[in-house]
Every structure is written in C-alpha cells, then in structure tokens.
Chain A
Amino acid sequence: MSLFLIAALPFLGAVFPALLIRAGRNAAASSAGFTTLLAFIGLMLHAPAVLRGEVIQASVDWLPGLGLNANFFLDGLGFLFATLILGIGLLIIIYARFYLTREDPMGQFYSYLLLFQGAMVGIVLSDNILMLLVFWELTSLSSFLLIGYWKHLPEGRQGARMALAVTGSGGLAMIGGMLILGNIAGSYDLTVILQHKEAIQASPLYLPALILILLGAFTKSAQFPFHFWLPHAMAAPTPVSAYLHSATMVKAGLFLMARMWPVLAGTPEWFYIVATTGLVTMVLGAVIALFKDDLKALLAFSTVSHLGLITMLLGFGTKIAAVAAVFHIINHATFKAALFMSAGIVDHEAHTRDIKRLGGLRHLMPITFTIVIIASLSMAGIPPLNGFLSKEMMLEEAYHTTWLGSHWVIPGLAVLAAVFSAAYSFRYIAHVFLGPKRDDYPTTPHDPPAGLWLAPAFLVLLVIFIGLNSNGVAGPLVSAAANAVIGDDLPYYSLKLWHGVTPALYMSAIAVIGGLLFLSQHKRLEAFWNALPRPEAKVIFEALVNGLVRAARAGSDALHNGAISRYAAIMIVFTTGLTYAAFRTGTLAAPTRSVQEAGVLPVIGWICLVVATLAVVMKHRNRLLALVLIGVVGLVVSLSFNYLSAPDLALTQISVEVVTIVLMLLALNFMPKDTPVETPLGKRLRDITISIFAGLGSGGLIYALMTRDFAAAPISEYHLANSYKGGGGTNVVNVILVDFRGFDTFGEIIVLGIAALVIFALTEAILGSRVRARLLNRKPDMPRAGDAHPLMMVVATRVMMPLALMVAAFIFFRGHNLPGGGFIAGLIAAIAVIMQYMASGFAWASERQRFFFHGIIGSGVLIAAATGMGAWFNGLPFLTSAFGYIDWPLLEEFEWATAALFDLGVFLAVVGAVMLALESLARFAWQPGMETEHAMDINPARDDVAEDEKEA
C-alpha cells in the first residue's frame, strides 16, 4: 500500500465517525476501527522489506518553492513507530467503544482520535522536516481537542490549554530550529539532512538549532522542566491518556531525537543537554509518582520518568544506548498502555481512581488484577518480563557513563530512579488490589465486559512474550529500528534475560529490594514528602498565564483607550517626525523661484485669514461663532483663489462654502451650543504644541515647494497645449475635470453620492432608535425666532429661485470654455432650492418636490457612466470624449461635446447629494404629515385669519 494512503487513511477515517454517529455508536466505532485496520494491514505489507533493511519512499511536490514537499519514507524507525501508533490505536478504538458512556459524543471522539492518529503517522513517515512540522503541530491541536473532550470539566479545559501552550510553544521553537537546520544542509529533506552530519555539527548555528529542536522534543515528551503539562492532560478520557499520553504522542519527542540522532548526537552539547535532562526527568518523575494517590497521576508521572529514561539513553550518544532506547520504547508502550487501560477499568467500575479509597480489588476483579500484576511487574523491572530487559540495558549503559568526570552521578541516580520506579509499581499492585476487601467503594466493582479487558490483555501477552523470547518477537523490529537510528554497523548486543552477573544485575537487585522497602515505609515517606514545600506547577502556570492575560489586557486597553484626540496626536507626531527625518537626510537644492512682492490686498487678506483662524481656535467652544469664523476663513480662501487667477477654484470654493455652512447650521441645531472643556490643561498644552509644530512643518514644506520649479516639465503643459485641440474647450480646468481626468471626477461624484447616501442611512438608523423620541420632544435651548417664515425672506427667495436656476444653467453651459461647469452649477442650483427650504419651511418645500433625491444622484452617476460607455461603441476607451461644431442658422457657431453630457451627470449628482443630505438632516425635526404654518401665506393679516380659524 502506498505510503500516501497509509498516512491519509486515518484522516479519511476521521470524517466517517462524525458523519456516521447518527447511525449509532457501533457504526462510528467500527468505521474508525476499520480504517485503522486497513492502514495497519497496509503497513504490515511493507514489513518484510523494511525488516530486510530497505527504505520505502513516496514523494510528490507540494510547495517546491519553499522546499516543502510531501515526501514520505518508511525505514525501521518509522516502521516501529507506525506499528505502535496503528496497532495500539486499534486496541484503543475497541477499548474506547466500551469505555465511553451514552452521554459522551462518540462520533466526535473517534474523529479527534483518528485525526491525531493521522498526524502521528505523518510525523513518523515524513521525509521532509517542514512536513514533519505540519504533522507535529497537528498532534498538539488534536491532543488539545482530546484533552478537552469533556468540555464541562474545568480540569479538562485547563489541561487542554496548558498542553497546547507548552507543546505548541515547543513546536514553534522547533520551527526555528528546523529552518536553521535546513539552511545549513541546503535542503529540508530528512534523507539529505541526515547526510550532512559534519556540516551541521561544524556550523556556528549548530547549538541554537539543537536547542530549538530539543525544546520541541522536550516539551512534547514532557521532559523536565516542561513535564508539568502531562499529568494535567490526564483529565482526558482514559483511552486518550493511554494512547496519546503514554504510548504515542509523548514519544514523538523521542522519535524526533532518534530521527535526528545521526546528525545531532555525539557532541558534548548533545550529551550534557539531553542526557542530563533525561536523567533529572527520570528521577523526578519516579519520585513524584510514588506519592500520587490518583491512579492516572501515578501513571502519568511514571510515564514522565520513563520518557526521561529513554531521553537519557539517547543522550548518551553511544550506539548501544540507542539500541536500548529503541527497545525500551517498545516495552514501555506495551506495559504502560495496558496499565492505563486497567486504571481506566478500575475507574469505570469503582467510580474512583483514588488509591486511598481502593484496595482488595483482587477478589472482585481477578482478570484486571492479572493484567495489572504482569504489567506492573514489567514496569518495576522484574524478570522475565520485557521491562526487565530494557531496564537492565539502561543500567548497564548508565554504569559505563561518566558525567563531568564523575563515575557515580549517572549510575547512582539511575539506581535511585529504579528504586522509586519499583516502589510505585509495587504500590499500584499492593494498595489497589491487595489488602482486605473494603465496603466503602463508591460502587461495587467487578470485572468489566470483555471489550474493555481484551485490549490490555493482548498487550500483557506481548509483555510476556517479548520478555521470554525477545529475539524472536521483537528482535527484528529492534534491529531494523536501531539500524535506522545509528546506521548500518550495529554494535553487538543481545536481547536476553541472562547476561551473567553484571553490575546491572546488582543494580536491578538493589532497585527491587529498595522498592519493596520504600513501599513498606510508604506512610512515613509520604508524611515527609507532604511536609516538603513543593512548587505546584499548575498554580504557577495558571498564575503566569492569567498574569499575562491581565497584562495584555491592561496594556492593550491602555494603548487603545478609545480617545481619538490621543490617536490623532500620536499619528501627527509620528508622521511629522518621520517626514522631517526623511527631509533632513536628503539634500535641499537652492530655491529657483524668487519671492514676489506682497501687495496691499493680499496682506489684508492674509491678516483676515490669520485673525479668523486664531479666532476659531480661541472661540471654538462656542460652536455657532466658530462656524461663522470658519465661514470667514473660507471666504478669504476663495478670494485669494480669485486673486491668484483661479476663478474656477474661487467659484467652487465659495459655493461649497455656502452649502456646507448651511448643512452645518442645520446639524448644529440639534447639538449643544457649547463644547464643554473635557481635557486637562496639560493635554491641551500638549495638543497645542503638536499643532504648532505640525503647522510650521506643513507651512515650511509648502514654502519650500512653492519656491522651487518642477524638476522636469510637468504634465500640465500638455494639458494647456491640448485643451482646445483635443478636448474642445478653452477652459483647461474644466477640460481636465471632464476629459483629461474625467475618471477622477467620475470617482469623486460617486464619493459625493455615497456621502449623501450614508447621511441618509445614518438618519434612518438614528430615527429608528430611541433617539427619535428624544429629538421630537426636544425643547429648544435658545429662544426661537418670533417668525419662522419672515415675509421678506419668503418673497425674496421665491423671486430669486428662477434667477438662481438661470445662473446655474449659465454657469453650466459656459463651463467648457469659461470658468464654470457642472460641479459649480450643481451647487448653485442646490442653493436655489435650499433657499426655499430655509424661507418657507421643510414641509412646504418638500410638498413641491417631485423627484426623489436618491433618483437624482443615481441618474447623475448613470448619465456620467453612460456617457463614458458611449465611447465603447466607437471602439474607444471609457470616457473618451467627442466634440464638434454645428452652424445654427441665424445663430453663431455652436459647439457640442459629449463632455457636456458627462458634466450633466456631475451636475445631477451634486444637486442630488446636497439635497439628500439636507433632507436627511432636516428629518430629525420633522415627520411626514407635519405642516408648515403660514409658509404660503404672505398676507400681513394672516394672524387675524389664523385666529378666525381657531375660533371656527
């Protein structure tokens, strides 16, 4: 079977349980089991070849640019792990079917489990380290889901988060390490990297790469000081603990160290980091395990200890130690998975896994007892079980290893760990199963159905067989895997029970005797242990994370405090500062233009402008006054445009000024008349300083620009030259607007239209809320004018209406050749209408309004667009204009231009947008059906008429 298929099968299988759960729990379980079995068979088909020493490969390009390819290979090491993953996976699937209760969502469980399985298979088959990273992180994610499977338990949630944080961070560190490694070797393919031992170990980046990769491996394999997450991961359902947290996932770190062993091992750095970490972990885990009352916690720390043992062996860097490591991986997986499952059985049956509440179970659960006693004795290292064999090899290696010149450190501590290991193994048997039968179990336990004990029983059989006939049962697998780790020249080793009277045998004996001794003194030791001050990892971790969250929250909230004034201040300081820095790092050429003499008029205008601007700043708290002053500023600006020979700009500016002031007055009507002082003096001083600097900066910039010529001929020269020839108009400004850069204008009228729509939508939103009632019941905060519709004004505006529209038409048509155009004309037309609203009232005016403003805006944009599209029919680009001249009889020559049609679109969009904005604002104070009093009535005697009506 192709390696792709083997790796993909679990992922495919993950889909079925989730979908099939409606078909029942058995369907979900069997679909999971079936796909796993299929993958397992596929793997086994490769067994003969792999055990012969062949390497099976399969590859396909995925992201060749990065060097990330879906390359898989199967060698002895990969085969060993894949066998463990799929084989134990199968057992777990059977076990879990009977373990989970009716309330547990089983489809989800199997989906997560298979997801995890696929990720694990991916890790061990990857021939590309980036690919391996992908699967590596996937195991972290799927283990997160599995640990948190019982969502309602706080331990599950915390354990899941802790595991994700620890293993996830290790994985991230490993990304860095792998990238370095790939860069040294020039490829991310494992098979290539494995051939670059010298280059890698000689590289100055060897140590950082090593540390980063080891961080990944240590966190995953729960090595000190990252071991603390594993016991808390035991909040997961027991099948998960048995599978992920003893047999497979926690071995991924070991796998990685074994995988990288050929290139990374053999240096002093490797030895001291890896072996020491392993040693410390082994001892610490064993010691803690003895004092845990929770069965799963005991097993968890025991797992930590055994992982440390294997790490230490790999860290020794000798070939024979690597063989021992490989062998112990197999043995540990068999007895520890069996033990976890048996712990699950006890929990399942007795509804507690607290050792203090258990005891005497051998009478009630004989089958479970048998399983436990074999597996525990193997864990304790009792012959003839498999645990004895590999522990013996470990002790032998430990005996020969010196640490910082000392011959005693490693053997001594190894024996100490072995003593504790034996002690907790015996304790599992003695305190749970031996002793008198009790009558205070939460429920009376008995042996479970076969579905639960078959899987551990099978593993226990393996424990015995490997122990009795290690060469026959595990020999080929061990040698194939060891071959893959250390290369072809396997050292001499023998997997057998009796090696003669060696130091290791003495050490084993000490361990067993010491273990029994410790168990007999357990009560005293426990009292001593409990009296010791110990850091509680979970408390520290939670405090750390919570502290970080609080700090992040405080920092983030303080930074983003929602004060726009501060945001703006930061922005202005940053932009002016950086711009100034960029300016200073360049060279400024001398000015090329001389400064003109200032006449009297400009100086007067300048003084007006400065005074008005300063007055706005001083008086901005009185909003009405500020508005008037802003009007003055606008007026001076338009006058200066006019003075500087820009009549188009002046016209536009002044009409825009009128319209905006009217709209803002309308808006002010609904707002408080004064701006309260909200900021302390210090902040205001800060803002004043910033403003002054920014103002000086922009002034200086503009001065520098105006005193210099263009570096090259500007494009405006072309516009001047071609305005009449190519655009048919002598007013270059207008030709630029409707022709040269008509596309910009098209965009801008859309902006204007959208702005009006937004004002409308905003009004609707506000009027649909509670604000509406408040607005309608609003009491004016200033006395109202006695006459809302003064006679003079009504008369004047009505007379002016046709005149103003005439002016608009005039401005519109002259636009192409003389100052004017659609934009200005639109504003003037809008002003003509606005005057009616102002003088005669909203209701009166809107009654006479026949076109919806939305429609006017839409038609404006559409006319402009249609004009532009007209060019397509001549095969020309969008917005290409055409013009010509018609001789009207009796009249002078008349020019037509499609640009005028475009300008009509502009005109309509402007009128519509302004009016829609006005109407929207007015609606805050007006409801349909309200009538304007007296608007039409310009009879001076109207008050008498009104009184008459009242009486009637």
Chain B
Amino acid sequence: MNHLLIAPVVLPAIVAPFIVMALRHHLQLQRVFSVGSSVLLSIITLALAVQAADGTIQIYELGNWSAPFGIVLVLDRLSAMMITLTALLGLAVALYAIGSGWDTRGRHFHALLQFQLMGILGAFLTGDAFNLFVFFEVLLIASYGLMIHGGGAVRLQAGVQYVVYNLLGSTLFLFALGTLYSVTGTLNMADLAVRVAEMPADDTALLRAGALMLLLVFAIKAAVLPLHFWLPASYANAPLPVAALFAIMTKVGAYSILRIYTLVFGPDVAATAGIVTDWLLPAAMLTLAAGAIGVLGAREIGRLVAFGAIASMGTLLIAISLFTAEAAAAALYYTLHSTLAAALMFLVADQVMERRGGAIVATGPMPQSGLISALFFAGAIAMAGMPPLSGFLGKLLVMDAARDADLVWWIWAVILAGSLITIVGFARAGTEIFWKSHDASISAAPAETSTDADPDPEDAPSGALALVVIFGLVAGLALLTVFAGPVSHYTEATAAQLFDPAAYINAVLGSAK
C-alpha cells in the first residue's frame, strides 16, 4: 500500500486545522506553513504523476476495507495529472496572496486555502461516488469562505448566490446518488461500472434518471449553460487570486464528467445510451457562445475574465462531449492550458484592480502600465486561444479531434466565431484600460480603486512576489506550448487509459474478486 497516495488529502487536512488552532494570530507563520504545505503537495503530486506515467493504476483502500465495501482512492494518469495541476496552482495562489497582501484582508485565508486544496485533490483521487460528494462539499464550503474573504456588500451578496446555487446542486447530487444506490446497491465507481453493464435491458428508466442527474451535477460545477449562472458574479466579485484558484474548480466538474461517463456510463453502455451526447454538445456550444458574448459585453475586468473562463469551459466541454479518445486527449491538453490561462488572467486583473479599479473605461494612467499591459496582452492571447501560447494549440487539437463528428461544421463555426468575439472583446477592454488612459483628451476621471481594505501595513505586500507568480504562470503556458509534443503524448496515453475502463475496474475490484 503506497501511503503517498493519501498524502495529498491528509497533508492539507492536518496543516489547515493546525493553522487554525495554533497560528491564528501569527500571519507570518501561517504563510510559512501554507507555502510549505503547498510546496510539499507539489512535490508529492509530481512524484505520484511520475509513478502513474507508466500506466499502472494504484489504489489505496481506506480503513483497509476492500472495494467496493470501503472507500478507495485511485491513482491513474488522469487523476495524477489533475492533482499535479491543482497543487502547482495552489502554490501559485498561496504565493500571490502573500505577495499582494490579500491574505491580510480577512481571517483564515491560508487555512481555507489548504482546506480548499484538500477538497479538490480528494475529488480528483477518490474512486467512490459518495466520497466524491463529500469532497465536493469540502471544496464548496471552503471556496465559499475564500470567495467572501475580505467582505464587502457586493461580494457578500454574490457569495450568497454562489452558495445557494451550489447547495441546490448538492441536493441534486444527493438525489442522483440515492437513485443510483437504490438501483445498483453500490457506490464504488468501478463496482457501479460492473453493475450498470449488467443491468437488465427492461429496467433502465431509473438508472437513466440517476445517471442524468449526476451529469447535471457535474454540469453545474463545470458551468455548462444553462447551469452556469453561479459563475459570473461570484468569480468577478471574489478576491481575484481566489478566482484564479477557482480556475481549477470548474475543471472538477469537467473531470468528473470525463471520469464517470467513460468509466461507468461509457459510450458503449446500452442502458444509458444517448443521455449525455444528446444535449451536452449543444449545451457546450451555447456555453462557449454565452462566454464569448459576455466577454464582448463586459463592463468590468473581473467579469471580463469570468466570461472568458466560461468560454474556455465551453471549448473544453465540446471536446469532452465527443467522447472519443482523441477528443479526450485534446480536452486534457486544453484543461492544462485553460486552467493556467484563466489563473493568469485573474491575477493580472487583480493587478489592474489594485491600481485603477476594475471598470473598463479610461482613467488616468496607472503605475507600471507598460508591464501590466504586456501581461494582460499575454493573458488575453492565452485566453482567446491565439498563438503563440498553448491556447491556439489546444483549440487546434479540439477542432482536429472533432473532424469526424456529425456536427463538425457547427463545432468549428462556434469555436472560431467564439474566438473572434473573444479577441474583439479583449482588444476593446485592453485598449480602453491601457491605451486610452494615455489620451490626454480623456478627462482623467479619478481612478476608483477597489473597495477592499488596504493590506495591513505591518505585513506589507511585496509587489515583486506577486509579479513573479504571474510571470511564472506565463512561463508555464510557454512551457506547455514548447513541450506540446511530450505533453500531448501524456494526454493521449491518459485518454487511452480512460477509454479502457477494464484496467481501472480490475485494479479496484481485483482484490475483491
């Protein structure tokens, strides 16, 4: 039993309560522990990714109860990739929050951050459907805490909507799990796969209802139209470094769809045929369209990026909803890209917010305008999927993978038109914010800075660290571009593993049978 497998969950689960208990009044120590934990998590997840790279599937039986009776964690290529991405993003956000002073603007930032990481990492690792629900709850409640970090009326209002909407989603999750358990009598994903495949053909209605409700739960998390309403206001009004971390949260939904609907309700399962493909693809295209239109119409930089994130989820879900190995490989590459790109853009937006407020109108010139505008440009390129950054490659991969789909023309048209609208939207915003502010004829309205309290002067933020993090993300995107070959090799192997569920099922249930 490889105990390293449980470390990504246990480590933050220990560090966070320790911070709460012992370091409540020592911000510097909190920072040390939070960053230390994040670094360790990055190392651990990288080590796990190396272990998973050769295609072995490891399981970890909690409480030494074998599947399907106890809970198992499963490490395959997909979960390894996702946890590594999460840990690295978590580290970036922890450092940025320190560098920008965001962690001084409210209580318990670092503890909540660690809890949030624990929830996300657990969701990626678990092989049990109910345990997935538990981790969804952990990440939801922690994200709510992070979202309203720093307070303020607008943010609190958005927070209420966020949590109410997602609690509705949790309720639906319980309905789905209850239905699936009542029909199949199990909650372990591999066991579910076995039992669903054996379902009698004349008894599928309830199973279908359960499978569909589960999909809708994940669709809510992945912000698929028309279940995306929780996202724009909450991302735009959250502290933007937190929104950067949330870039991975929508991916939890996408991951779950990919996992469950290849493993349990795969494309070949007769009982649940058609429940996903019939509507997910059109919905994904609508999501992309709504995101792009939102980008074009945004009045405020946080909302601009939030809609950009929705658009990228649309592209990602288009790839997922094709349910072929090639498209899944493209989706995974795009996942890596869009997570980093959205995080980058939210952090850049935070830099802008801090300097001049978020409204997309010309104000007076802001400090370090050149540098920030260059970073904005890089982020916008990444998000709109323009070369030379990885978004362009991801988009090409997705489009290429769709070439045999029935709706290929629609898919291409939506992706390309969406890109165009996004480009125009970002170009407008960028020229308003960065260029027009140099125009002497624009009466320099007093820059309304954000309503958030200034960081505690005692823990004065070092702007340099925040910028270093942003540059790190840009470098990450550049690396993803340069090493697109090896990375896509990994994602192809991952997709192949996903579409061969027998190996997964054997790994999990092998010991029981």
Contact = CB atoms under 8 A, between A and B. Distances in A.
Given A714-B186, A765-B150, A564 B165 contact: yes
Contacts of A746: 13
A571 B220 contact: yes
Interface in B416-431: 416-417, 419-421, 423-425, 427-428, 431
Contact of B226 (A548, A552, A571, A875): A571
Contact of B420 (A154, A169, A585): A169
B274 A585 contact: yes
Contacts of B420: 165, 168-169, 172
Given A164-B423, A869-B10, A754 B165 contact: no
Interface string B166-184: 0010001001001101111
A157 B436 contact: yes
A806 to B, nearest CB: 27
A631 interface: no
Interface stretch (A406-414, A676-684, A736-744): A736-744
B226 A858 contact: no
B198 interface: yes
B71 A557 contact: no
Contact of A715 (B69, B144, B205, B307): B69
Contacts of A702: 178
Interface string A191-206: 0000000000000000
Contact of A587 (B179, B203, B488): B203
A305 B121 CA distance: 60
B118 interface: yes
Interface of B: 1, 3, 6, 10, 13-14, 16-18, 20-22, 24, 60-65, 68-71, 106-108, 111-112, 115, 118, 122, 130-131, 134-135, 137-138, 141-142, 144-145, 148-152, 156, 160-161, 164-165, 168, 172, 175, 178-179, 181-188, 191, 195, 198-209, 211-213, 216, 220, 226-227, 229-230, 232-233, 271, 274-275, 279, 290, 293-294, 296-299, 307, 329, 370, 377, 381, 386-388, 392-393, 396-397, 399-400, 403, 412-413, 416-417, 419-421, 423-425, 427-428, 431, 434-436, 438-441, 453, 484-485, 488-489, 492
Contacts of B68: 715
Nearest to A767: B151
Q: Would you call the interface of chain B mostly helix, strand, loop, or mixed?
A: helix
A179 to B, nearest CB: 6
A754 B138 contact: yes
A730 to B, nearest CB: 18
Contacts of A719: 69
Given A587-B205, A751-B138, A753-B20, 16 more contacts: A134-B388, A151-B434, A161-B427, A175-B399, A567-B230, A570-B229, A572-B168, A578-B212, A583-B208, A706-B182, A713-B185, A714-B185, A751-B141, A755-B141, A865-B14, A879-B62
Given A555-B293, A583-B206, A754 B13 contact: no
A575 B213 contact: yes
Nearest to A742: B63
Pairs of residues from A and B, 3 with the lowest C-beta to C-beta distance, nearest first: A765-B151, A858-B21, A714-B185
Contact of B3 (A62, A587, A751, A877): A877
Given A63-B485, A568-B165, A587-B202, A764 B212 contact: no
A424 B460 CA distance: 64
Contacts of B172: 575
Contacts of A148: 431, 435
A562, A758, A765, A871: most-surrounded residue (chain B CB, <10 A): A758
Nearest to A67: B400
Interface string A880-902: 11000000000000000000000
B68, B208, B297: residue with the most chain A Cβ atoms closer than 10 Å? B297
Interface in A319-334: none
Most buried by B among A148, A173, A751: A751
- Most B-side CB within 10 Å, residue of A144, A169, A176, A552: A552
Contacts of A880: 63-64
B164 A564 contact: yes
Interface stretch (A135-143, A347-355, A617-625): A135-143
Contact of B294 (A160, A560, A713): A560
Contacts of A933: none
Interface string A536-574: 000000000100111111111101101010011011101
Nearest to A134: B387
A859 B17 CA distance: 7
A564 B436 CA distance: 36
Nearest to B148: A762
A133 interface: yes
Contacts of B69: 715, 718-719, 722, 740
A63 B24 CA distance: 49
B63 A157 contact: no
A760 interface: yes
A25 B208 CA distance: 70
A774 interface: no
A725 B400 CA distance: 56
Contacts of A552: 293-294, 296-297, 421, 425
Given A575-B213, A877-B63, A564 B206 contact: no
Interface of A: 61-68, 105, 108, 130, 133-135, 137-138, 141, 144-145, 148, 151-154, 156-157, 160-161, 164-165, 168-169, 172-173, 175-176, 179, 183, 545, 548-557, 559-560, 562, 564, 567-568, 570-572, 574-575, 578-580, 582-589, 698, 701-702, 704-706, 708, 710-716, 718-719, 722, 726, 739-744, 746-748, 750-751, 753-755, 757-758, 760-762, 764-766, 768-769, 852, 854-855, 857-862, 865, 868-869, 871-872, 875-881
A852 B205 CA distance: 52
Nearest to B306: A560
Residue among B195, B230, B386, B397 with the highest chain A CB neighbour number at 10 A = B386
Contacts of A769: 151-152
A567 B108 contact: no
Contact of A579 (B13, B187, B212, B230): B212
A858 B135 contact: no
A521 to B, nearest CB: 40
Contact of B205 (A169, A588, A878): A588
12 contacts: A553-B296, A571-B226, A587-B205, A588-B203, A589-B202, A712-B185, A757-B108, A764-B107, A766-B156, A857-B21, A858-B17, A862-B17
Contacts of B419: 172
B49 to A, nearest CB: 19
A168 B428 CA distance: 14
B424 A757 contact: no
Contact of B62 (A564, A715, A865, A878): A878
B243 to A, nearest CB: 16
A712 B149 contact: no
Contact of A586 (B1, B207, B232, B381): B207
A862 B18 contact: yes
A758 B61 CA distance: 32
Contact of A559 (B71, B148, B161, B290): B290
Contacts of A553: 296-299
Given A582-B208, A753-B17, A858-B21, A739 B202 contact: no
A224 B420 CA distance: 20
A164 B427 contact: yes
Among A764, A861, A877, residue most surrounded by chain B Cβ atoms (within 10 Å): A877
A695 to B, nearest CB: 12
A711 to B, nearest CB: 6
